[in-house]
Amino acid sequence: MSSALCDQFGIDFPLFAFSHCRDVVAAVTNAGGFGVLGATAYSPSQLDRELAWIDDAVGGKPYGVDLIVPAKFEGKGEKLSGSDLAARIPQSYRDLVDDLLRAHDIEPEPERRIGGASLSGNTGRELLDVALTHPVKLIANALGVPPDYMIEAGKERGIPVAALVGAKEHAVKQVAAGVDLIVAQGTEAGGHCGEVSTLVVVPEVLEAIDGAVPVLAAGGIVTGRQMAGMVAMGAAGAWTGSVWLTTEEAETAPHTVAKMLAASSRDTVRSAGRTGKPSRQLKSEWTDAWLPSAEGHQPLPLPLQSMLCEPVIRRVDVLAAQGHQGAQALATYFVGQGVGLMNKVKPAREVVREFIEDYLAAADRLSNSLPG
């Protein structure tokens, strides 16, 4: 494709692929797209190893990293340790999780594990420092306005900083804060997402920021035809995540892949029950337990909800993989509504190739609709 964005990033096709898996990142970059490693779950030394592996694999081709440094979180500015934060998780919530496990024939662990505060914003700076020792060509922040140090680091080194937004008001704030690339993400997206659909939020954001920076469309995009539709609307390209979860390179657990291949677009739910902020994931008895109903429970704020839930969800996942029925009913995974269109495991390179072919066919279709 020919576009200012392709020139800026040195890529052939403006398909941005978010993944927690280095193999996917490298495969997409090597196929002419742009891989972005989700870095939040890594420790600084792990991240360093992952990025070194990618550097070797892509031979100078461009890739980026995605951090989640929320603008608002419990304990912000209080310099709390992980155990200080853990102390803020009420006993009633711990009991609730235990009851939910027992109801699914899973005995709670005698010593409760509380997860790391990676969504507290406290670890972002260290991870960024590690990333900057590698030739990253994009720094993305997936939740809220990036902290000043991130924007400054990008400006100093000439590395564009991207931010994900779910509403036009947020896009305007992000541009004012100095962000170089907006990812306008619809409610159909996997993971954290807003309420507005991609088809509406993309033109709203484009109108609101009026060309100040390029806009990538995100949310529900798992095919080239959808990407082409978004480029017709004025997006500079697509930001994707879910579609890579069922690639050969992904480290998604086999039972999760099976669930995703079988899922229709109606098998996801937007719920705050995993991290404390609304995020889209596979519907399960875990997500049911956090629905806003008479029996439901208001999730805790970032990062407390994920500190409470992540270790349990990971344990559930291990049991589910072993065939435990209660665990399989509870198991969930971040994924968007596009899961309804994900029906086959493929190599990531093949997904990129199909995106390009499908994009070209879509452009033909639109062109053929014109008279003469």
Q: How far apart are CA 299 and CA 297, in angstroms?
A: 6
Is the Cα torsion angle 167, 193, 176, 14 positive or negative in sign?
A: negative
Nearer to its own copies, 212 or 321 (CB): 212
Beta-carbon neighbour count of residue 260 at 10 Å? 22
Beta-carbon neighbour count of residue 135 at 10 Å? 15
Sequence-ordered list of residues with C-beta below 8 angstroms from that of 103, at least 6 positions apart, any chain: 326
Nearer to its own copies, 25 or 289 (CB): 289
The least distance separating its own copies from the CB of residue 76, rounded to whole angstroms, comes to 24
> Contact between 337 and its own copies (CB under 8 A)?
yes
Choices 19-27, 52-60, 70-78, 194-202 (CB under 8 A): range interacting with its own copies: 194-202
Which amino acid, residue 199? L
> Contact between 264 and its own copies (CB under 8 A)?
yes
> Contact between 92 and its own copies (CB under 8 A)?
no
Q: How many residues bind its own copies (CB under 8 A)?
A: 55
> Contact between 15 and its own copies (CB under 8 A)?
no
The least distance separating its own copies from the CB of residue 136, rounded to whole angstroms, comes to 26
> Contact between 357 and its own copies (CB under 8 A)?
no
Q: Six-digit token pair at 181?
A: 């690339």
- Which of 57, 177, 200, 213 is in the footprint of its own copies by CB under 8 A? 200
Nearer to its own copies, 45 or 294 (CB): 294
Strand partners, 135: none
- Which of 49, 102, 314, 365 is in the footprint of its own copies by CB under 8 A? 365
Q: Six-digit token pair at 74?
A: 């419990």
Nearer to its own copies, 233 or 253 (CB): 233
- Which of 146, 194, 276, 326 is in the footprint of its own copies by CB under 8 A? 194
Is the Cα torsion angle 277, 281, 286, 288 positive or negative in sign?
A: positive
Give the pairing of strands 279-282 and 191-192. Answer: antiparallel
Which amino acid, residue 359? Y
DSSP structure class, residue 278: -
Q: Token pair 């805790």 is at which residue?
A: 300
The least distance separating its own copies from the CB of residue 288, rounded to whole angstroms, comes to 12
- Which of 228, 307, 316, 335 is in the footprint of its own copies by CB under 8 A? 228
> Contact between 366 and its own copies (CB under 8 A)?
yes
Q: On the CB side of 206, how many CA atoms lie within 13 Å of its CA?
A: 17
The least distance separating its own copies from the CB of residue 290, rounded to whole angstroms, comes to 13
- Which of 80, 265, 315, 349 is in the footprint of its own copies by CB under 8 A? 265
Choices 30-38, 119-127, 156-164, 188-196 (CB under 8 A): range interacting with its own copies: 188-196
How many degrees, rounded to 5, is the angle at CA 18 between CA 315 and CA 217?
Answer: 130
- Evaluate whether 217 touches 235 at the Cβ level (below 8 Å): yes
> Contact between 370 and its own copies (CB under 8 A)?
yes
Q: How far is CA 235 from CA 31, 87, 151, 178, 209, in A?
A: 21, 45, 23, 19, 12
Choices 61-69, 104-112, 227-235, 313-321 (CB under 8 A): range interacting with its own copies: 227-235
Which residues are at the interface with its own copies (CB under 8 A)?
Answer: 1-3, 167-169, 186-188, 194-201, 203-204, 207, 219-221, 223, 225-226, 228-234, 264-266, 291-294, 337-338, 340-341, 360, 362-363, 365-372
